Amino acid sequence: MSQIIIKNLSVKRGESFVLKNLNLTIEKGEFVVVVGKSGSGKTTLLHTLAGFLPFSGDIIIPHNLGVVFQEYSIFPWLTVEKNISLGLDKYHPKERKEIIEEHLALTELGHKRHSYSAELSGGQIQRVAIARSLAPDPEVLLMDEPYSALDVHTRDKMQEWLLDVWQKKQKTVIFVTHNISESIFLADRVLVLDEGNFVREFVVPFTRPRVDEMRFTMEFNLLNQNIKSFL
């Protein structure tokens, strides 16, 4: 069932189009990755879907969205537990406590529940940011290059962790990155965005769950090269 429908979406900055006549349909529970060079319009697309920017065209998307930004986006003066609890005021205290415990377990940071961001690694901070976005139970998660500041090893581990969380939570995800390998490892579909237009779509053929070893296969590297040729 289609959960997100984008028709003739255009966004201007001054007199220039950042996005022009984009069309896209995303199914419920699908993991879609948008890949492109810097300046291709990736972040603009996510910010538009999140409701931050004016646009022309039509967007059908649930109002209940979670957003994870490129920059580390947890409040440094709040503990891990308090960060996750933000946005849960609508819940009864008992239910709120259960939600916090569930998402602490997802982060695998229960032992750091009273820690502040200065005491966490970059990967741990982003786990908390993702858990905080998931805790209010959004229908769609928008992720803007959340791992770009991480080292390669941590990034790979965070990709595996995210897919595990996605399998458990069954959310629709739109994930933006400039990293082709990351896009292949995560996605059901990879969309190549260039100068504000989708220029190619790739259906990722690998079965789930994804495993680290697949990154070193011939098929993975051939797809990587194929996508790269459109950037």
* Dihedral pair phi/psi, residue 53, rounded to 5°: -130, 145
Q: What percent of the chain has pLDDT over 70?
A: 100
Domain with CATH 3.40.50.300 in the chain: 11-64+139-231
Q: Kindly write down the DSSP assignment for every residue of the chain, as one continuous string.
A: -EEEEEEEEEEEETTEEEEEEEEEEEETT-EEEEE--TTSSHHHHHHHHTT-S--EEEEE--S-EEEE-SS--S-TTS-HHHHHHTT-TTS-HHHHHHHHHHHHHHHT-GGGTT--GGGS-HHHHHHHHHHHHHTT--SEEEEESTTTTS-HHHHHHHHHHHHHHHHHH--EEEEEES-HHHHHHH-SEEEEEETTEEEEEEE----SS--GGGGGSHHHHHHHHHHHTT-
Choose among 78, 183, 209, 210: nearest CA to 132.
78
Considering the segment(s) 11-64+139-231 as one domain, its CATH architecture is: 3-Layer(aba) Sandwich (3.40)
Q: What is the pLDDT of residues 76-94, one digit of tens each?
A: 999 999 999 998 999 999 9
Instruction: Indicate the average pLDDT of the chain.
Output: 94
CA atoms within 13 A on the CB side of 220: 18
Q: Give residue 83's pLDDT.
A: 95
pTM reported for the whole predicted model = 0.94
Is 32 in contact with 188 (CB distance < 8 Å)?
Answer: yes
* Residue 41 Cα to chain centre, angstroms: 15
Is 72 in contact with 122 (CB distance < 8 Å)?
Answer: yes
Please give the Cα distance from 79 to 202 (Å, whole number). Answer: 40
Task: Tell me: pLDDT of 114 over 70.
Answer: yes
For the segment 63-67, the average pLDDT, to the nearest whole number, is 94
Task: Tell me: pLDDT of 118 over 90.
Answer: yes
Q: Sorting pLDDT into bands at 50, 70 and 90, what band is 72?
A: low
Choose among 63, 74, 67, 27: nearest CA to 43.
67
Q: What is the pLDDT of residues 210-223, one digit of tens each?
A: 999 999 999 999 99
